[in-house]
Each structure stands twice: as C-alpha cells, then as structure tokens.
Amino acid sequence: MTGFVTGAGVVSAWLVGEVSSSALARLSGTLDAEERRRAARLPNGAARRRFVIAHGAVRQIVAERLGAPPAELTWKTGPNGKPELVGEWSGIHANLSHSGDRCLIAVSTQRAVGADIQRLIPELDVAAMARRYFPEAEARDVADTETFARLWARKEAVTKAGGGRLTQVLPLLTPEGPVAALGSWYRVADVDAPPGFRAAVALAGADQFAVEMNEWTP
C-alpha cells in the first residue's frame, strides 16, 4: 500500500476491488458487532461481500495511519448518517463510498472529507433526472450517463464531507472550485475511476487540495 501523504491540502484515496476468500474472512474478523448486524441484514451474499470488503478496507487503511488494531476503531454516526471516528483511536477524517463492485475510500488528516463513486447506468433517463434534481445551469449540459454520474458524484461527495442531506446539495452548482453548501465552503475534485464509473472527493474549506490515488489490496 502506498504511504499516506499528510497536510491540510492533501487527501489520500484508495480504489478497492474484489479480494480473495481468505482476505474476506480476515476483513470480516475486524468488523464490530453493529457492522456484522448490518451485513447480515443485506439481501444476498454479493451485497454482504461488498459491505465486508468496504468496511473492512476502511478499517485497515485508517488503522495503518493511526497505528491502531483495525478491530478497535470506533465510529459514531451523525444525525444524517455520516460516521466519525471517536474514542482512543481518532483524530483523522475518513469516508467511504461503494457502487457496484468498487469502493472508494478517502482519508484527510485535518479537514472533513467526503468520497463518492458512481457506477454508470446506461438505461437511466439522465436528462429527466438532471432536470428534476440539478440546477438549470448544470441540467442543460447533461446529455449522457457519464456527465450525470460525474456531477452526482460531486454532489454526494460534498454532502458527505459536510455531514448533511443530499437534498440540500443537489440543487447547487458543484464546480471544481469553492462550493457554498450546508452553511460552509467546500472544495470538490473529480478523481480517477475504473471504466464504467465516475468518482469525486470533497474537502471542507475553500482552499485547494490534491488527491493521491492508490489501489488497495489486503
């Protein structure tokens, strides 16, 4: 795994794909009781596998940064569902998103961070969706699934960085520059994603930032 780059203007991010059965078992062993309950409630084995990979990977990544045992990390969920590290092993910001068979994890040492990855859905009526949810200045430029997914990922990332509700951010312009949302300022950037996906990372504050992208393997 590539090492962390630290600083207020840097985000370390990882793309996570499939893992072996033995790695899956190790990741499952790091989950806490609530995560296991959430996984068990999912409708099928594929969904449970994706959940274990995503949540086990974020535990491994954050634990390496903190020098902590992955199973001892504790998250508290905010009023709109955003998890924040609490307890003995905390002090950094982490966020994850998964779509299809891929997961994106972003970590920031000083500023609240949000990450989102979106799988392209060819059959989606993106023009109608954009007219319904996006500001007119963005909606009129949405002509294909790639553009729609890119803009949706930006909005999700800002929402998650701020710990708000998506409905509060969908009507806002989300350029690659300062975004006024949820009572504060954020920066959002598109990041590399596998074919068939689009992804973005957002960071609290109006200052620019850089993203160091990595591929994660257990």
pTM for this model (two decimals): 0.93
Confidence (pLDDT) at 79: 86
3-state SS assignment for residue 71:
helix
| The CATH number of domain 10-216 is 3.90.470.20 | yes
Beta bridge partners of 126: none
Contacts of residue 31, Cβ cutoff 8 Å, sequence gap at least 6: 39, 52, 55, 56, 59, 71
CA distance 126 to 27: 36
Confidence (pLDDT) at 43: 94
Confidence (pLDDT) at 6: 53
Confidence (pLDDT) at 1: 42
Residue for token pair 């957002």: 202
Q: Are strands 197-204 and 184-191 parallel, antiparallel or unpaired?
A: antiparallel
CA distance 25 to 46: 14
Is residue 50 exposed (0-12), middle (13-18) or buried (19+ Cβ within 10 Å)? buried
pLDDT along the chain (218 residues), means of 10: 59 95 96 96 95 97 96 92 93 95 95 97 96 95 95 97 96 92 96 96 95 94
Confidence (pLDDT) at 24: 96
Confidence (pLDDT) at 94: 97
Comparing C-alpha atoms, which of 102, 14, 9, 101 is closest to residue 60? 14
Confidence (pLDDT) at 218: 87
